[in-house]
Structure 1
Amino acid sequence: MDTDTVVITGYGIKAPGINNINQFKDVIETGTCTQEILHGRGHNGSNIVCGVVHEELDSISGQNYKRYPRSSKLGIAAAEEAFTMAKLTNTESARIAVIMGTSGGGILEVEQYANHDNNLKKIPLHYVSLGDSHTLSAAIIKHLDINGQAYTITTGCTASLDAILMGKMFLEAGYADICIVGGSDALLGDWITYGFLKTANIAENIEIAETGVPFSKSHKGFVKAEGSAVVIMERKKDVEGRGAKIWGHVKGASSNNEGLSLLRSDETGRSMIAALKGAVGDVIPTYVNSQALGLIQNDTVEYITHQHLFGSAVPITSIKGMIGHTFGSMGAIQVVSSLLSIEHGFIPPTIKTNGDGFEDLPIVFETKYQNVESVAITNHGMSGNNTCLLITKED
């Protein structure tokens, strides 16, 4: 048995309608949609559907984070839950790396203070830190009171899976003993809204059930959401030495970049096929936890990839109809959902859709209770990376 296997010993989450792991388990098991309509937040006062975390998080465990970017607050809260779950009490001698991914960092707060009318008094003292994406990882280091390496990855929608991939490499190479990895994004401001309205990727004045519909050619647009997820990764031999519980094994990880121009992506699916094949190798996963978010181009790439590698033999599902798309943190949220799926023995349903246009894809429409040995996770971003992961129950 390979004692250098990378394992997960803790995980935490903050997501729309979800304050902790137990609530997340209930949402994905029952197929509950936690999205809502934000009135007057679109173009000319239109309404848009979003996934919102309603906690302010200005104070976390008695510490004041009022001046921190919201993405950092979400990351701190998720990291604290993961750290507690992993029972990491004596870390003074351990080499720890915090590696977090984000798509927009503190752009929400930068946007809020941008209308300063050239009046320096309107600019907060911490304005520079709001625009520094690395505030995310640095804040987690500070909150957990650890002294280690800190890195922030900004590879767009694949950022948190890229952070997990990097953490796996660090552990295997011996650069760290514990890796606290994941992602966080809070992008519900005008910048992200108007950007995706311009490209017609967000629908306006529409009901919750009619947008952000995975695997459907009858619907348009995705649902943007905020959230964070963090996992604790260690080498198996180290975990066995301290008697911690192992929740899953990070068996495979693979990433590539399509090398295309702005806003384009590889519609042939070749890059995603290579990434997923690189992650799973010869393993046939129990199911695929898919990137599918309700954009026909993206979901078609998922379709092409799945049919090429697995055909109808492997079920596929997407949790984005429940919580929406959380950008750079979504991959880590998919990992946490997969860990819960493995622990409790079920495949989460793909809600909102009947698979119109994707009829020959083996989509899971209702919660399927069964033993889950492994989950393949897919993630890709516009004009950017394709990153995939394989999480398994055993070595």
Structure 2
Amino acid sequence: MHIQRVAITGMGSVSPLGSGVEELWTGLVSGRSGISRMDELELVKGLRPRVAGRVTEVNAKAIPRKFRRTMSNFSIFAAIAALEAVAQAGLDEQTISGGRTGLSVGSTTGSSQALEQFFKLYLPENSLEAIRSTEFFKIMNHSAAANLSQFFGITGRVIAASAACSTGCQNIGLAAEAIATGKQDIMLCGGTDELHPLTVGTFDIIEAASNSGAEDPTKASRPFDAARDGIVCAEGAGMLVLENYEQAEARGAKILGEIAGFSSLCDSSNMASPSSEAISRCMKAALNDAGISASEIDYVNAHATGTLQGDASEAQAVAGLLGSSAPVSSLKGHLGHTMAASGAIETIATICMMQENTIIPTANLTVPAQECSAINNVLHLQERPITYALKNNFALGGINTALVLRRA
């Protein structure tokens, strides 16, 4: 089977740092934090965390009400990000709806906000009478994919991979494979999620959420740091346009980067705690898919969420495979953990780093933990060229993913 090269020609983002890739990048470069106090969390009995990463500005009215009425927040985030990506790629309506353009996007679950509203109306009187007909389209697990395909008129293949924190990365990888194998010429892809107290509660229940940040929310998320105490939940969306490389060149599109390799493997040893061996196996498979050696990786954008076990396992795996030469950083100190969106937003940021020859440090990393000190932790902005970058994402249930990105 002929394998095609896969170019990135468009990127769009909605994150706690603002709406748009430019806002994301300038926020990261300036060291700004998207984490703030979330008063809504105080209303939930037994919930300990008090901070999160909220999306504060988004122009939902850019989406006509005809489409917006079946969208929850995460579909709105994804649509806004996708509009930016499509505009940058220069795709016209005919190209998008012609059948050779597909879509791959997912969220962790259906809309938690819509689910809460549904049961508030249903449970008191065991009645469906007050429930709107549009609510189901927000609750179904492929809500983002269904809403975006309708909004953009996509008639090609639609994939709605849902793998918790690996969702964004997995959808990008699956989209790249659809192009590499010639199944589609163009794929709009990424991940999206919305914040809800139940999201925070999930990690609090399993003792994986950060309970710090009462005095300074911006310091709560501390990947790889000795003082880290867990995940700070967040929301947002990242969307990319991937395209057959030769086709992109032929139509004069600006190529932002390239998806050179992808791996998605399962760690069946534990439902919640990732093993360094499985992480290493996943990264090796991505390198093999790209046809490069570990020594060619110039930067690792780590999953590193600030948990004790997860950060340690990833650091051990990266050190074992790459040694201490390649710089390693996590963006969750700036953004929090945007869940299904994290892989896509962080991939976009990594492409920006490659374009600008600038490596973003791990925010709030002041004293690397001993178990995380064998890697080349980035503590300050670095000016450094990146030809190949490795992007990691790992999820509950052992769903590990890794992308190899190549400079344009």
Query: Does the TM-score normalized on the shorter chain lie above 0.5?
Result: yes
Partner of 1:374: 388
Partner of 2:117: 112
The CA deviation at 1:67 is 4.1
Distance (whole Å) between structure 2 residues aligned to residue 79 and residue 95 of structure 1: 17
C-alpha change, 1:378 and 1:179, in structure 2 (3 Å) is: same
Distance (whole Å) between structure 1 residues aligned to residue 241 and residue 218 of structure 2: 35
Report 1:345-356 matches (<5 A).
Answer: 345-354=357-366, 355-356=368-369
The CA deviation at 1:66 is 4.1
State yes or no: 1:192 paired with 2:199: yes
Partner of 1:360: 374
Equivalenced residues, count: 390
Partner of 2:85: 82
1:23-46 C-alpha deviation (Å, 9 max, x unpaired): 111012222111101125144486
* Contact map agreement 1:31 1:350 (CA 8 A) in 2: no
Distance (whole Å) between structure 2 residues aligned to residue 67 and residue 279 of structure 1: 37
Give SS of 1:291's match: coil
Give SS of 1:277's match: helix
Identify the match of residue 160 of structure 1 among 162, 168, 172.
168
Q: Return the TM-score normalized by structure 1.
A: 0.93
State yes or no: 1:279 paired with 2:309: no
The CA deviation at 1:94 is 5.0
Give SS of 2:104's match: strand
* Contact map agreement 1:378 1:389 (CA 8 A) in 2: yes
State yes or no: 1:146 paired with 2:158: no
Higher mean alpha-carbon deviation, 121-130 vs 317-326, is at 121-130
Report 1:111-260 matches (<5 A).
Answer: 111-116=116-121, 117=124, 118-186=126-194, 188-204=195-211, 206=214, 207-260=216-269
* Contact map agreement 2:69 2:134 (CA 8 A) in 1: no
1:310-343 C-alpha deviation (Å, 9 max, x unpaired): 1111110011100100111111111100111111
C-alpha change, 1:359 and 1:325, in structure 2 (3 Å) is: same
Distance (whole Å) between structure 1 residues aligned to residue 188 and residue 58 of structure 2: 23
Distance (whole Å) between structure 1 residues aligned to residue 28 and residue 325 of structure 2: 23
C-alpha change, 1:15 and 1:5, in structure 2 (3 Å) is: same
Distance (whole Å) between structure 2 residues aligned to residue 239 and residue 219 of structure 1: 43
Q: Structure 2: 5+ residue runs without aligned partners?
A: none
Give SS of 2:240's match: strand
Distance (whole Å) between structure 2 residues aligned to residue 238 and residue 389 of structure 1: 22
1:212-240 C-alpha deviation (Å, 9 max, x unpaired): 21002322121100010011111111112
Distance (whole Å) between structure 2 residues aligned to residue 150 and residue 165 of structure 1: 14
C-alpha change, 1:201 and 1:21, in structure 2 (3 Å) is: same
1:95-134 C-alpha deviation (Å, 9 max, x unpaired): 1110102212312211233122123233121122122122
**Partner letter of residue 388 of structure 1?**
A
Distance (whole Å) between structure 2 residues aligned to residue 149 and residue 78 of structure 1: 20
Distance (whole Å) between structure 2 residues aligned to residue 299 and residue 47 of structure 1: 20
**Partner letter of residue 264 of structure 1?**
A
* Contact map agreement 1:98 1:180 (CA 8 A) in 2: yes
C-alpha change, 1:147 and 1:227, in structure 2 (3 Å) is: same
**Partner letter of residue 298 of structure 1?**
G
* Contact map agreement 1:41 1:47 (CA 8 A) in 2: yes
* Contact map agreement 2:99 2:155 (CA 8 A) in 1: no
The CA deviation at 1:389 is 0.4
Partner of 2:352: 340
Identify the match of residue 105 of structure 2 among 85, 96, 100.
100
Moved over 6 A (4+): none
**Partner letter of residue 205 of structure 2?**
K
Q: Return the TM-score normalized by structure 2.
A: 0.90
Aligned residues: CA RMSD: 2.0
1:231-265 C-alpha deviation (Å, 9 max, x unpaired): 1111111112211010001001111011245x433
* Contact map agreement 1:376 1:391 (CA 8 A) in 2: yes
Give SS of 1:349's match: coil
Partner of 2:39: 39
Distance (whole Å) between structure 1 residues aligned to residue 21 and residue 234 of structure 2: 18
Distance (whole Å) between structure 2 residues aligned to residue 359 and residue 173 of structure 1: 40
* Contact map agreement 1:101 1:160 (CA 8 A) in 2: yes
Aligned-residue sequence identity (percent) comes to 24
Higher mean alpha-carbon deviation, 251-260 vs 223-232, is at 251-260
Report 1:384-395 matches (<5 A).
Answer: 384-394=398-408
* Contact map agreement 1:111 1:191 (CA 8 A) in 2: no
Distance (whole Å) between structure 2 residues aligned to residue 58 and residue 310 of structure 1: 43
* Contact map agreement 2:9 2:241 (CA 8 A) in 1: yes
The CA deviation at 1:84 is 0.5
Partner of 1:7: 7
Partner of 2:61: 59
* Contact map agreement 1:160 1:330 (CA 8 A) in 2: yes
* Contact map agreement 2:274 2:309 (CA 8 A) in 1: no
Distance (whole Å) between structure 2 residues aligned to residue 333 and residue 189 of structure 1: 19
* Contact map agreement 1:87 1:244 (CA 8 A) in 2: yes
Higher mean alpha-carbon deviation, 2-11 vs 296-305, is at 2-11
Give SS of 1:170's match: helix
* Contact map agreement 1:314 1:362 (CA 8 A) in 2: yes
Q: Structure 1: 5+ residue runs without aligned partners?
A: none
The CA deviation at 1:47 is 5.7
State yes or no: 1:308 paired with 2:320: yes
